[in-house]
Chain A
């Protein structure tokens, strides 16, 4: 079956511009996560969705970052007024909701490489 897909695979943008990154999770996965991977910071959690709501936004680094999820499926991560330090690979993952408070296995997409010039 289809895995997690992300688009675009690469994005180069000028400092100060807004960007939108898209994630299509595995069908039926109710949980969706955004992470970013950068040389200096490693793998960092950004935001977690359960259905269309985001109970954990604690990893968003500033108010320039926002995300939404519609129809319990596709999610969009938006970065406004991009800065050079936003350059990273943005990863999306999805999972089935865990049972008894447990955690479903997360499946990762290939990522979007964002370069801010």
Chain B
């Protein structure tokens, strides 16, 4: 099973709302990622968790708050977003590399977010 599951698939929220995106994997992966993809652009990294600890934050605004409550789950909490934050949010997971460069990163289907 090489599946990363993301919910919801679509989300429309107002600029004053608080919502969360969820991601789940059961492949035993201990690295999990959030990427943001705007239309017709490549994905851009937001956050990386390794062994449930935040290891990379690509200077993402604080209105995006990641959380990794356990080794299978990754959340992205959203608050006071702007219309320009509308995008496809992709979750991914992989083994934590220990020098073996053959570990594939697997992506979910994404959550489409529209901020109105």
The finding on whether chains A and B are genuine partners in a shared complex, rather than unrelated, reads no
